[in-house]
Every structure is written in C-alpha cells, then in structure tokens.
Amino acid sequence: MVDQNAIRESSGQRAGARGDPRLDWWRDARFGMFIHWGLYAIPAGEWKGEQIPGIGEWIMHRARIPVREYEPLAARFNPVRFDAAEWVSLARRAGQKYLIITSKHHDGFSMYDSKVTDYDIVDATPFGRDPIRELAAECQRQGIRLGFYYSQTQDWHHPDGDGNDWDYDESAKDFAGYLERYVKPQLRELLTSYGPVSVIWFDTPRRITTEQSQSLVDFVHHLQPACLVCGRVGNHLGDYASTRDNTIPADSLDLDWETPATINDTWGYKKNDHHWKSPRELIQKLVDVVSKGGNYLLNVGPTAEGVIPQPSVERLLAVGTWLETNGESIYGTGAGPVQGLHWCRATAKPGRTYLHVLDWPVGGDLRVPGLRSKVSRAYLLADPARGSLSVTAEPDALLIKGPARPPDPDDSVVVLESAAGG
C-alpha cells in the first residue's frame, strides 16, 4: 500500500518501483549519512544580530539576504578543521553505508571545484581545498559509497535559478537555459571528476517539467549508469522515492523509498539548535523505517570550521554501537511479517524474522499476533550463546518467553528462524 501522504510531492508511484538490481546495494545498506554543509554554517542561524527562524541552510531566503551581501561569506569560509578521514570514519562507525553531501544547495554555492562558476569553495574561499575530492578519496579508502545532493531547481544566487525574488524578477528568468547551461555542466563535472557516484540527490523540484526531470535522469544515467537518482528530481521520476522530511509512513510501502531526517531540527548548522533526538529515538526511527521497507538517511550539519557537532557524533556512535550487535537485523532486511504493533517492529530476510521489541513487556512474555509460519528456533540477537527461547503457538499469536528484563533498553532483537522464511 502506498502512503501518498508520506511520499506526496517528493515522489510517486514510478520512482521506487521495485526490482531494479542497480538498487541492490542501497536496499542492503538501509542507513546512510546526509551532510548539509555550506556557507550558511557561518551565520549559523543569525543575521545582523537577529535570530532567523527555521532551518539553517535557508537563512539567505528567510532573511531575504541580497546576493551582494551573502556572497562575501565565501571570503570568510575557512574550515581548517575539516578532516575527510574523520567524517567518513564517523559514518563507518555509525554503521552508515553511504554518505550524501551537498555539492550545491539552494544558496547556489558550489562546495567543489567547479569550472562553470567561480562561486565555489576552491575559487572563492581562503580554504582553497576541494572537500568533495577529499571525501571521494576517503570514501573509496574506507568502503563507503558517495552521493551528491544537488539543488536542481532552486538557486538563489543564479539569476535564472528558482527561488530568489528579492534580487531577480522571477518572470524574466530563463529556467530552461539555466538547466542546460549551468545545472547539466555542473552535473557533468560531479559525475566525471570524482569517481563512482552512487546517488544524485536532487531536491525541491517545484516548477521543473516532466521533460526536464526526465532529461536530468537520462543525463545522470548516461554519464554513470549505476548512479541512482533520488525521487526528488520531480514528476514521479527517479530510481527511488523519498518521503517528506522527517516523515515515516504509517505502513510498509511496496516501493524503494527512504526517509531523510535531521538529528536536531535543522539540516545546515545552527548554533542555537540544541533540540537533539536521543540515541533511543534515532535507533527506534531507524528500525521503524527499515521495518516498513525503507532507508534512513540521517543528517549532520558541520560547522563553518569543518567540525561535525559533538552531540551528533555521540548520537551516531551510540547508534553504531547498537548496530554492532544488531546489524544483522537491519542490513539486507526488508519489511517484516508483523506490522502495526506499537511495542514491536519486524524486519525480515529469507529464513529469519527479527522482532524489534521497543517496549519490553513486564515479565518478558512476548505475545506476537499475526505470525503464521513455523518458527524452528528463537533467540536474542544480543545473546552470544544464542540460547533458545521457548516458543508456543497460541490460537491467534505466537508466545515467546523472553527474560523478565529487557536485554537492550532501546530495542531488544529476537530472532525467529523458520524454514519458510516467515
């Protein structure tokens, strides 16, 4: 069943239609790191002494900052503490299998060495390094797949890009020309200079036509056939569907889909956003997403110095610790046979169902309705001895006797082995 409310503008039926083997790695991965990094990390939510409400990377738009005032931020961008090895290693230790970074967000600033413009990190900043190149090398070295976020429609810096009506006359814009003469040449750079690119993560399609979306999909696939295109290319196209931000569908979806999500309330760094989700919330959201057949793309917003905020690091490492023990119940799994229970989620792969007990019942009796196939053995994934738990078939449920106290305070995983896979 397709939860159109969750998917809505982001993608539709065709994006994510199952079966394309190019997505096999992505279906196995289930957990990725999103990185929103750009000039907006300098104001970090504050402009001319005023707190600007909303997500940090939107500050130019929210405060109607003229291009001539925003541009000079580049001369101050010097993230000398940026360390590609550290970022990639964090993703790896968090159990994230791929990383998607903003190559150009809506503010129009290119975070790589573009020849199409001088408004990029190498030409316009004292930093003068290309972090995308450094990340590409590290991703190769550490075995993490790399993808690029690219804002195809909104560009508040380019006179023909969408969204900036305070500097430019929207009705006079040549959007088609911008796509051909700016977006595609930049995509060509990204897809020909940085090795294999696993995903191009387009965003906010807005006014883009079906033909234009299709031509971007074709352009990406022509340059790198294996590169996936996110459903936010628009008009129900792309290789997989993306839900609305921070939205987890109510039911499992028979699509390839993902939830992009924040750790606090912003994507780009904001110095006053301390609304951090707890490790428990993050683990349970990851599990919720995977139990409905999706991927969880969890964001970090590094500072203007190039540092991933410590609260993000701590939380990612906590999720990574949980995955060290419980990764088998996430990677390479899909939606499980039990849905709709408030205390439990289920993931599955052939021969195994993983019950994720989010709220351990008093006494440890796990009564799971809706499981029909024969369970040959049950055990706790966290139990190194894999001691069998007692399983009894009741008329409408399976009763598994677990320990009285939860083995894991956030999510205790019970493995059910069955010849039939259910």
Residues that bind ligand FHN (CB under 6 A): 55, 57-58, 203-204, 245, 260, 267
Nearest distance in Å: CB 301, ligand FHN: 10
- Comparing CB distances to ligand FHN, the nearer of 190 and 371 is 190
- Comparing CB distances to ligand FHN, the nearer of 204 and 214 is 204
Asked if 306 and 83 touch (Cβ cutoff 8 Å), the reply is: yes
- Comparing CB distances to ligand FHN, the nearer of 267 and 269 is 267
Task: Spell out the residues 6+ positions from residue 218 whose beta carbon is closer than 8 angstroms to its own.
Answer: none
**Hey, what are 228's tokens?**
């996936």
Q: Measured between alpha carbons, how far is 279 from 93 in angstroms, rounded to an integer?
A: 14
Nearest distance in Å: CB 186, ligand FHN: 17
Phi-psi region of 143 (alpha: psi -120 to 50; beta: other; left: phi over 0): left
Nearest distance in Å: CB 232, ligand FHN: 8
Chain residue whose CB lies nearest ligand FHN: 260
**Could you give the C-alpha distances from 386 to 325, 374, 377, 421, in angstroms and in order?**
13, 19, 10, 19
DSSP H helices in 152-260: 175-178, 184-192, 210-223
- How far, rounded to the nearest angstrom, does the alpha carbon of residue 187 sit from its chain's CA centroid? 20
Nearest distance in Å: CB 148, ligand FHN: 13
- Comparing CB distances to ligand FHN, the nearer of 104 and 356 is 104
Q: Measured between alpha carbons, how far is 94 from 319 in angstroms, rounded to an integer?
A: 6
Nearest distance in Å: CB 267, ligand FHN: 5
Asked if 103 and 111 touch (Cβ cutoff 8 Å), the reply is: yes
**Hey, what are 7's tokens?**
């998917």
- Comparing CB distances to ligand FHN, the nearer of 58 and 178 is 58
The partner residues of 298 in beta bridges, in order of sequence, read 33, 261
Nearest distance in Å: CB 362, ligand FHN: 39
- Comparing CB distances to ligand FHN, the nearer of 57 and 120 is 57
